[in-house]
Amino acid sequence: MTDPSRPWWADAVFYQVYPRSFQDSNGDGVGDLDGVSARLGYLKALGVDALWLNPVMVSPMADNGYDVADPRDIDPLFGDLAAMDRLTAAAHDLGMKVTMDLVPNHTSSAHPWFQAALAAGPGSTQRRRYIFRDGAGADGAEPPNNWLSIFGGPAWTRVTEADGRPGQWYLHLFDVEQPDLNWENPEVFDDLERTLRFWLDRGVDGFRIDVAHGMAKPRDLPDMPIVKPEMLLAEMDDDPRFNDDGVHEIHRRIRRVFDDYPDAVAIGEVWVYDNEQFARYVRPDELHLGFNFRLVRAGFDAADIRDAIENSMAAVELVGATPTWTLANHDVEREPTRYGGGPVGLARAKAMALVMLALPGAVFVYNGEELGLPNADLPDEALRDPVWERSGHTRRGRDGSRVPMPWQGDAPPFGFSDTADTWLPIPPEWSALTVEKQLADPSSTLTFFRRAIEFRCQRSEFDGPTVEMLDSPAGSVVFHASGGLVCVLNAGDGAIPLPEGEVLLASGDVVDGALPPDTAAWLV
Ligand code: GLC
């Protein structure tokens, strides 16, 4: 139940819309903003409080919009400013908030600033907006340091200067087409402030801030002590590319802009695991919320899950911030696949959804999670994620979790689009998982999610800021949320007895008071 004295986001259910894959309204095979508007009724009925839209700004789409060429306009692929305004207004009419994705660490190489930097040459003010350096070695033919790109290969690319000769190198922690900005240059913050105010003035309710532990870089750009190419989910606390102290001054400046919009929320993508280091991002004058990815990284293992919950809580308690929980997003494998695939993987995913939705704070549900979608196995030729090319075809990338939503009917594109030529192919076997079929089925994953979210929003047992772990049989996790809810997860091999109480909801069948493996239950 919502407490009016707390900010709206403090216990919100956020729903992540991957705009390319939610609903296509113009038949080009790619989802768009009018498509999202058309499906708001579905989201309202699911019970979500707020949307997070992955980037929809102008972009050549080298990394599906995380390469922004104009941060203050909508890419024609998704619509235009009027479509964004329509979506925001329609969501607000239904009582839902809309947050966008902000990409402050880098721009697209097509951004006018980067094009000007290339043209202007070494030493120019234009180059000082990015991180250009002379190369190492006698003729500057070696990259300035040993940093790797998250997507594979070196994090540096050499440019050709106006005289046609090989010249300086520029830094890109992600794709070659995503040059990192130089946050020591005051112009960079000034432009970000314009972008923030541009959208907040139009009525947007906040931002998810991409790579919020990036931005600042150590001035001398020291080598990485360990070079490990597989990233996003790797341990990065000792990595000079991220979590530089200077980043906190940037967050404080961003927060001062947000303070002019007291209802708006800033949610950072913070891949930092040390609790004290993480907590610094959510101090009262920095981000409102930070994604804590411990639950995503935990296997389906009682000790791992307990550890993820306890540490996520402990981190925010250090600074009195609000916890966040997420099991999935567009960068990771979907839960049913991650937890083993098939019926067992799905059962575990549903059990974990109950764990997540029992926890205090803000939760994030990724589109399709409520349908129990698995990762899709895509053929090589369908892959679009730059990770596939950049890794020399050794990592398949993240496309498998980005496939369009199956809405209705018996064959692709399942009402997602008018064309069967969707930007990623939808597996035909998802005919069993469509929204239409699941809405009609009281035992579907979607019905289960709707009931769970409804309880979370309406019952007072979900209120209360703390969680207490209780003793429980081996292989299980039992916690008591301070509002009164008890959540039991059985990640072991045999059935376990349920504690005293009335079962409010279970992710599988409870027989004679016993909870089977791969199942969770809520008790009041
Ligand atoms: C974040 C996004 C990811 C993107 C990367 C570069 O990690 O979630 O999808 O590729 O940043 O912007």
Among 171, 190, 216, the domain boundary falls at 171
Cβ(461) – ligand 1 distance below 6 Å: no
What is the structure's pLDDT at 231?
53
CB 170 within 8 A of CB 179: yes
CB atoms within 10 A of CB 433: 21
Taking the chain (524 residues) in runs of 10, the rounded mean pLDDT of each run is 80 98 98 98 98 98 98 98 98 98 98 98 98 96 94 94 96 97 98 98 98 96 78 63 96 98 97 94 98 95 98 98 98 97 98 98 98 98 93 93 98 98 98 98 98 97 95 97 97 96 97 96 98
Q: Give CA–CA dist 77/24, Å, rounded.
A: 10
Is 210 part of the annotated catalytic residue set? Answer: yes
pLDDT at 153: 87
| CATH, residue 491 | 2.60.40.1180
Cα–Cα distance for residue pair 142/158, rounded to 1 Å: 9
Phi, psi of 222 (to 5 degrees): -65, 155
Q: Which residues contact 434 (CB under 8 A, 6 or more apart)?
A: 371, 406, 407, 408, 409, 414, 415
The answer, yes or no, to whether any atom of ligand 1 lies below 6 A from the CB of 67, is no
Counting from 1 in the atom list of ligand 1, the atom nearest the Cα of 106 is 12
In a domain, 519, yes or no: yes
Are 434 and 407 in contact by the 8 Å Cβ rule? The answer is yes
Q: Residue 366: inside a domain, yes or no?
A: no
The answer to whether position 127 is within a domain reads yes
Nearest CA to ligand 1 atom 9: 331
State the pLDDT at residue 230: 57
Rg of the chain (C-alpha set): 23
CATH at residue 167: 3.90.400.10
The percentage of residues in the chain with a pLDDT greater than 70, rounded to a whole number, is: 97
pLDDT at 5: 79
Which of the residues 24, 175, 210, 399 is marked catalytic?
Answer: 210
**Phi, psi dihedrals of residue 256, rounded to the nearest 5°:** -65, -30
Mutate-to-test residue for ligand 1 from 208, 211, 291, 326, highest number of ligand atoms within 8 A of CB: 211
3-class state of residue 390 by DSSP: helix
| CB-ligand 1 contact for 399 (6 Å cutoff) | no
Range of the domain at 140: 112-171
The answer to whether position 135 is within a domain reads yes
What confidence score (pLDDT) does residue 154 get?
93
Q: Which of 11, 34, 63, 269 is catalytic?
A: 269
| C-alpha of residue 57 to centroid of ligand 1, in Å | 14
Ligand 1 site-directed mutation target among 66, 103, 109, most atoms within 8 Å of CB? 66
pLDDT for the residue numbered 512: 92
Type of residue found at 50 = A
Specify the ligand 1 atom closest to the Cα of 331. 9
Cis peptide bond N-terminal to 413, omega within 30: yes
Domain count for the chain:
2
Strands 265-269 and 289-291 come out as parallel
Residue 274 located in a structural domain: no
CA of 174 to the centre of ligand 1 (A): 8
Among 144, 171, 198, give the residue marking a domain's end. Answer: 171
Cβ 242 vs Cβ 147: under 8 Å? no
Q: Is residue 406 part of a domain?
A: no
Structure tokens at 511: 């027989």
User: Residue 332 falls within a domain, yes or no?
Assistant: no
CA of 416 to the centre of ligand 1 (A): 24
How far apart (Å, rounded) are the C-alpha atoms in residues 2 and 136? 57
Last residue of a domain, one of 123, 146, 171: 171
For residue range 239-278, what is the model confidence (pLDDT) as tens digits? 899 999 999 999 999 999 999 999 999 999 999 989 999 9
Is residue 335 part of the annotated active site? The answer reads no
The predicted-structure confidence for 116-134, as pLDDT tens digits, reads as follows 999 999 999 999 999 999 9
pLDDT digits (tens, 9 = 90+) for 178-222: 999 999 999 999 999 999 999 999 999 999 999 999 999 999 999
What pLDDT was estimated at residue 233? 45
Exposure of 419 by Cβ count < 10 A (0-12 exposed, 13-18 middle, 19+ buried)?
A: middle
The confidence score (pLDDT) of residue 29 equals 98
Write down the pTM of the prediction.
0.97
Ligand 1 proximity of 175 Cβ (cutoff 6 Å) = no
Decide if 86 is inside a domain: no
